[in-house]
Copies of this chain bind each other. A is one copy, B any other.
Amino acid sequence: MKQAQKDYDHLQQLSRHSRILTGIGHLLDWDQETYMPDGASGIRSIQMETLAGIIHEEKTGKKFVNALSKLIDIPKGSLKTKELSGEQVAALKEWRRDYLKEKALPKKFVEEFARLTSQSILAWRSAKKENAFQRFAPFLDKLVSMARKKADFLGFKEHPYDALLDQYEHDITTHEIAALFSSLRKNVVDLLKKISKKKQINDDFLHGSFSRDKQLEFSHRILKDMGYSLNFGRLDISAHPFSSASHPTDSRITTRFHPTSLVSCISVIMHEAGHALYEMGLPQEHYGSPLGDSISLGMHESQSRWWETRIGQSKAFWKHYLPHLKKQFPGPIEKASLESFYKAINKVEPSFIRVEADEVTYSLHVILRFEMEKALIEGTLSIRDVPEMWNAKMQELLGITPKDNTEGCLQDIHWSMGAFGYFPSYTLGNLYASHFFEKFAKDHPDWEQRVSSGDLLFINEWLHHAVHIHGRRYTSKELLKKVTGKEFSANAFINYLNSKYEDVYNLK
């Protein structure tokens, strides 16, 4: 074996060790949200902190630096060998990038940030509960200034928000996001205006009282059809649904039950299974190397939103499943036609929070957050103006105004966690999914027919070969280009929304 190959194997082995510990951390997280007794929360934080400490040491320690330095010049980024394959070279670059990021934040800063966010989460909870923005404001102020400092530590070329974005989505700038979101914003706002002039869709038959066990049974049926194997995963209940993988052979999901909404649980499990199938599909031989890891939060979201919206809210899907649904849940739904059911589950209605948003208004919540975060980081928006700006943007984008700050700028946990730069991933996921979907539909012109007959496995197969098996060989944009042959843009998603909702709302 050549020396470079030996060095590469050694590097992967070291990296695998900390990856295994990261996987153990995911399991502890999973347990915390599912089965952990409440009284164990104190020791659980200590366990997580202990693992995180070891992982950070391993990822920045001498052993790792020496192993990486043998193959790549860390400061310059230039390769020291020509004997490695293209994918190995790609892996080295990602390893270097991860290392630089891991090293960039001083330990003292990380600890200070962790302390601030844990206090901020508590402050946010109480502020939200009592609609008292002024109680959260001083924390938000500190969080923004810490995030700004973080950007300096991480480094950026154009805009400090670039560095924050880069934590979740590599290789995309604030400038690019702004351009994507600007075309999207215009189009969606126009579409929403057209829809609002139409008669509202009746979806009464989707609401009622639905047995938990039957919902679970139906969920399991869909999971199986999607190719989600219970040999390598499981479905549990938690307050907030999530997917958590410690390894491709152990990729678990959770759901919550909506006692009065029939489709909510199905949407959730298809979404989470989309994430889980991505993790299950990562190449095990590269476990521990960037080639065995998912690309980004946005790419992950492309998989979950693909299953949730592109498949789970399609007419083809319900052509097959609606009769089964009617059998499982006898009641008002039995009288619904496929057409009226399809329209009902795709009903568009502005609401106050992303997690309850339909496909059309979803992006508007993300755009609002992006615009505000950008202004906060730039320093052009002061903390005390946040509630007013929030409400103004809600009115401008969605045509509704929150009744108070609890429903408005205090609605979710992201800011209190210091997660600035996170939100755009949600919409990037939708854009990526549509970009891929055009190619998928070309490769499988009969996809609707196959889905109508209950065949879903070929979809996962396609995603597996297009996305999963590459790990982090490519950036999101590179992969989108490689798979589809087209440069990434928001067009595919915009076209999809327009054409689908012209149909749903008879806009033509």
Contacts and interface: CB of A to CB of B under 8 A. Distances in A.
A381 interface: no
A249 interface: yes
A17 B247 contact: no
A343 to B, nearest CB: 38
A234 to B, nearest CB: 5
Contacts of A47: 20, 23-24, 246
Contacts of A231: 37-39
Contacts of A46: 20
Contact of A37 (B20, B51, B54, B234): B234
A247 B43 contact: yes
Contacts of A28: 24, 27
Interface in A248-278: 249-250, 252
A355 interface: no
A239 interface: no
Given A37-B230, A247-B40, A250-B43, A51 B24 contact: yes
A246 B37 contact: no
Interface in A7-33: 17, 20-21, 23-24, 27-28, 31
Interface string A35-65: 1111110111011001100100000000000
B24 A43 contact: no
Interface residues of A, number: 34
A57 to B, nearest CB: 11
A20 B24 CA distance: 13
A39 B37 CA distance: 26
A229 interface: yes
A232 B36 CA distance: 9
A471 interface: no
Given A24-B24, A31-B31, A232 B40 contact: yes
Contacts of A232: 37, 39-40
Contacts of A50: 17, 20-21, 24
Interface string A330-341: 000000000000
A421 interface: no
Interface in A212-258: 229-234, 236, 246-247, 249-250, 252
Contacts of A230: 37
A31 to B, nearest CB: 7
Which 7 residue pairs of A and B lie closest in terms of their CB atoms, listed nearest first? Answer: A40-B250, A39-B231, A43-B247, A39-B232, A20-B50, A39-B249, A40-B249
Interface of A: 17, 20-21, 23-24, 27-28, 31, 35-40, 42-44, 46-47, 50-51, 54, 229-234, 236, 246-247, 249-250, 252
Given A24-B51, A39-B229, 4 more contacts: A21-B50, A38-B231, A39-B232, A40-B247
11 contacts: A20-B47, A20-B50, A21-B50, A23-B43, A24-B47, A35-B236, A37-B231, A37-B233, A37-B252, A43-B250, A54-B54
